Amino acid sequence: MRLSADQMIFWKHGIFKLNGTIVFTWVLMLVMAVGSKLITRKLSTGADRTRWQNLLEIIVTAIDKQIEDVGLSHPEKYIGFIGTLFLFVAASSLCTIIPGYEPPTGSLSTTAALALCVFVAVPLFGIEEQGLSGYLKTYLKPTVIMLPFNIISEVSRTLALAVRLFGNMMSGAMIVAILVTITPFLFPIVMTLLGLLTGMVQAYIFSILAAVYIAAATSTRKRKTEQAEAGPVPTP
Amino acid sequence: MLIDWFTVCAQALDFLILVWLMKRYLYKPVLDAINVRETRIAAEIADADAKKAEALKERATFQSKNDDFDKQRAALLSKANDDVKSARQRLLDEARQAADALSAKRQETLRDDARNLNQAISRRTQQEVFGIARKALTDLAASDLEERMCAEFIRRLQAMEGEAKQAFGAALVAAPAPAVLRSAFDLPKEQHTQIQNALNQTFAAEIPVQFLTDTHLISGIELTANGQKLAWSIADYLVSLEHGVDELLKQKGRTDVQPAQERAVAPKPDSSEPSTTAPGKASP
């Protein structure tokens, strides 16, 4: 019994290997990219729109709104990263209804890669927003004593991101696989449906947590800017 | 080992490529399309707002003009009504005056006609009455009547007194020609003598008298001498009566003018009936 698609090796040469996780990821990337290209090929700016365009607009505007609600004032700047996180995880979960498919997010390598991307993207966005020193100073807040705890928090939350997604997706796939062996009818279907819901929730949680981390890293400058625009606070 | 670091790196690379692909083929076109649409809708809404504001302004202007027009129309209608009322009153007054004038003229004409008819009837009646009287007296004239006339003439002659008697006597005496005595019929000799004696006695002189017959005298005797005349005849009565009736008719015509003018204001349909005295009622 495979825990993940990593163990599905198609080709191997030294440290390079082509496993099921990479292949399914490529397939997903191809479907998402080609599908987006096909749908956005003839976008209408008028009142008459196709159903697919409406679907894409709903998805994109919903992501945009969620990012803005988290606290990022320029969502179009972050939608590429956060939106792709959500869509990739969601697509990975949705495709579990296809027989023979194994979600790439069920592999700890994939979730770790995504968590590492978040781990790298958060300081990059923070530095872009606040500058290097400004971002580094956030580790010293509220006091210098909190520096090691902040660093541990940074690392642990990345680890938590990776393990949370992996655990949920892997467990879902595992439960379905086990149930198929025990009760081959009906119950696996119900669990697959539950897995779809779980996958969507995980996609939402993963992308929202990434947005929250980015917002936390970029919010200091924003607060200062808002205070400067509001003027000096009157003292009682 | 659950983590394959090559797979981790490959998946991270794959994810970054997917991020680029999604931005390139999904987010950017969709967001651009949404922005274009929102911009266009915002422009349309702004345009609609501008048009709405303009429409409201034009509506206000139109409403104001409508109000002004209504006021002007009401004023013109009121003025026209007043003009019509005054014109109607004026025309009614003119028509009433014209009708009054026509009525008065008609009444006057009717009165003139009635008066003329009355006068004509009166004249005709008068002429007929007098003609009948003359004819009757002429028919009735006889010797007895001549005797009575002669006696009446003599009585009058003898009854003369004062200046009239003296003037007539002087005229008889001083006349170069004999006095002329006219009668409607030939007087008998006896009456010639009575008249001659009466003259001689009355004026105490021999009065020459020429006896003539005049058919125009109706049962009468007339003595003329040197411009003086002494006469008695029924014709004198008739002439006197005719003059009296003429005078009465003239007075009647004058008195009819005043009531006729008063009746002209409210004429009666039967006012054309003659109101003068009937011909049969004409008294001498």
Burial of B283 (0-12, 13-18, 19+ CB in 10 A): exposed
End-to-end CA distance of chain A: 68
Chain B neighbors of A84, CB-CB under 8 A? 15, 18-19, 22-23
Contact B212, B186 (CB under 8 A): no
Q: Are the beta carbons of B18 and A60 separated by less than 8 Å?
A: no
**B62 touches A at CB < 8 Å:** no
pLDDT for B220 equals 74
Domain ranges of chain A: 5-42+49-220
CA dihedral A99, A104, A108, A112 (to 10 degrees): -160
What SS3 state is found at B210?
A: strand
Tell whether the model's pLDDT for residue A157 goes beyond 50.
yes
Closest residue of chain B to A57, computed from CA coordinates: B30
Average confidence (pLDDT) over B218-244 = 76
Mean pLDDT for chain A overall: 85
Residue spans of the domains in chain B: they are 98-132+243-281, 141-239
The tokens for B58 are 């034009």
Task: Judge whether B45 is closer than 8 Å to chain A, CB to CB.
Answer: no
Please indicate whether, in this complex, the C-beta atoms of A45 and B37 are within 8 angstroms of each other.
Answer: yes
Q: What pLDDT is recorded for position B98?
A: 94
pLDDT at A231 over 50: yes
**pLDDT computed for residue A175 by the predictor:** 81
| Each residue's pLDDT tens digit, B61-79 | 999 999 999 999 999 999 9
A97-125 pLDDT, tens per residue?
888 888 898 888 999 999 999 999 999 99
* Cα separation values, A173 from A27, A134, A179, Å: 19, 43, 10
Partner residue opposite A60 with nearest CB, options B2, B20, B31: B31
Segment B52-64 mean pLDDT = 95
CA distances from B232 to B67, B131, B132, B155 (A): 104, 19, 20, 11
C-beta of residue B121 within 8 angstroms of C-beta of residue B279: yes
Q: Select the residue from A13, A84, A87, A165 to test the B interface by mutation, using most B Cβ atoms within 10 A.
A: A84
pLDDT of residue B275: 38
DSSP states of B145-163:
HHHHHHHHHHHHHHH--HH
Confidence of residue A3 (pLDDT cuts 50, 70, 90): low
- Of A192 and A212, the one with more pLDDT: A212
Residue B125 CB: number of other CB atoms within 10 A?
Answer: 17
Inform me whether the C-beta atom of residue B31 falls under 8 Å from chain A C-beta atoms. yes
B43 touches chain A (CB under 8 A): no
Q: Identify whether the C-beta of residue A132 lies closer than 8 Å to the C-beta of residue B27.
A: no
Of B8, B25, B26, the CB nearest to A109: B8
At residue B263, the pLDDT reads 52
Between CA A59 and CA A63 the distance in angstroms is 6
Q: Is the pLDDT of residue B264 over 60?
A: no
User: Is the Cβ of B34 closer than 8 Å to some Cβ of chain A?
Assistant: yes
In the prediction, which pLDDT does A233 show? 44
Arithmetic mean of pLDDT, B228-239: 74
Dist CA A175 CA B230 (whole Å):
184
CA separation for the pair A180, A191 (Å, rounded) = 10
Cβ within 8 Å of residue B211, ≥6 positions away: B181, B183, B187, B192
- Mutation site, A110, A161, A165, A171, interface B, largest B CB count within 10 A: A110
Tell me the average pLDDT of chain B.
81
Chain A interface includes B9 (CB < 8 A) = yes
Beta carbons of B7 and A57 less than 8 Å apart: no
Q: What percent of chain A has pLDDT over 90?
A: 38
Chain B residues with CB under 8 Å of A80 CB are: 19-20, 22-23, 27
